[in-house]
Amino acid sequence: MKLSQRRSKEFPYGLYKVENVVAVGVALLIFFTGYEIAREAILASERVAIVRPWMLAGVVASALIPLVFSHFQMRAGREANSPALVADAQEYRIHVFSSGLVLAALVAQQLGFRIDRAAALIIVLLVGKMGWELLSDGMRVLLDASLDADTLQRIREVIQAQPAVARLVWVTGRNAGRYRFVEAEVQLRARSLEKAHAVTEAMERAIRQAVPHVDRVLIHAEPLARTEVRYAAPLDDLAGHISEHFGEAPYFGLATVRQSDGEVLSQEVVANPHVSVPKARACYALWSGCGKILGHGQTTLPQ
């Protein structure tokens, strides 16, 4: 657990997965234990156990101690989102069952029933099942399985709640130990780098507030794709003759054209309100949000 929190030049993403490696190791040890118990139960010669009251009291204690401990450890593990702690608490619950079986076997022995071997084999099954679950969970994280569906949905909602987000292209994430790494691609209604940066920072803060134990959020932001282009043409008159001058032109013809098929969506002719201004008259067209400006020699808008 100590090692898993270290980060170095060689391991810039941290060593969080050490916790999952430990969980897989515990699973393999559980399989080994199960094998040992089964081998003894099947191959060992018949033995009659000697049962004394202090032994029964000891077995009861060995069931109660892990029961109480696992309750508090499981709660702490879930609060800390630690797979190692949760795995340990689950392992203690196996002890509660197995100690209960041991107690039943010893009591039965007192009553003349020999179920010692059967109890041992049932312990093997319990141990094997828990081992498989630990192995499966640990391997999923080690192989970079996706974050669970609920967590991904929560992240989607947080991103889409940002006003500047036009579209969430994709979102994904993975676990490493108790920590989470999140990646997303979004289209923003932001043209400037400063605004895009501010939006992604806000998005990262919101994700960290909504989802616990997030180590890193990586957001690829791209501007909303432009679907229309606005053209401006300086005009001499309302009939639509192109002017030889730009800033001094008395009128501007403005047209909005859809990029995908070139269809003209709207056209209008407006008077140039800055025709009498000595300088920067041409800026009018730019202030109108024109993508392209047509000059002399171009008599028609693109079709």
Partner 1 sequence: MEVERWGWYSIGINLLLSALNLAIAAASGSLAVAAEVVHNVVDLVASVAGSWG
Interface residues toward partner 1, by CB under 8 A: 1-5, 18, 21-22, 25-26, 29-30, 32-33, 36-37, 40-41, 44, 47-52, 55, 58-59, 61-62, 65-66, 69, 73, 76-77, 80, 82, 84-85, 88, 91-92, 94-95, 98-99, 101-102, 105-106, 109, 116-117, 119-120, 123-124, 127, 178
Beta bridge partners of 168: 186
**Measured in whole angstroms, how far is the alpha carbon of residue 244 from the centre of its chain?**
58
Whichever of 127 and 159 has its CB closer to partner 1, that residue is 127
To partner 1, the closest distance from the beta carbon of 130 in angstroms equals 11
Indicate the DSSP class of residue 1: -
Indicate the DSSP class of residue 248: T
To partner 1, the closest distance from the beta carbon of 163 in angstroms equals 38
Whichever of 63 and 211 has its CB closer to partner 1, that residue is 63
To partner 1, the closest distance from the beta carbon of 205 in angstroms equals 24
> 184 phi and psi, to 5 degrees?
-155, 155
Whichever of 21 and 242 has its CB closer to partner 1, that residue is 21
User: Which two tokens mark 142?
Assistant: 């080690």
Q: b/e string for 94-116 if b means 16 or more Cβ within 10 A?
A: bbbbbbbbbbbbbebbeeeeeeb
Strand 165-176, strand 179-188: pairing: antiparallel
CA distance 271 to 255: 14
Nearest to 297 by CA among 246, 239, 229, 230: 246
To partner 1, the closest distance from the beta carbon of 84 in angstroms equals 6
Whichever of 5 and 256 has its CB closer to partner 1, that residue is 5
Indicate the DSSP class of residue 14: -
To partner 1, the closest distance from the beta carbon of 19 in angstroms equals 8
To partner 1, the closest distance from the beta carbon of 136 in angstroms equals 17
The number of beta carbons lying within 10 Å of the beta carbon of residue 241 is 14
Whichever of 10 and 268 has its CB closer to partner 1, that residue is 10
Whichever of 61 and 283 has its CB closer to partner 1, that residue is 61
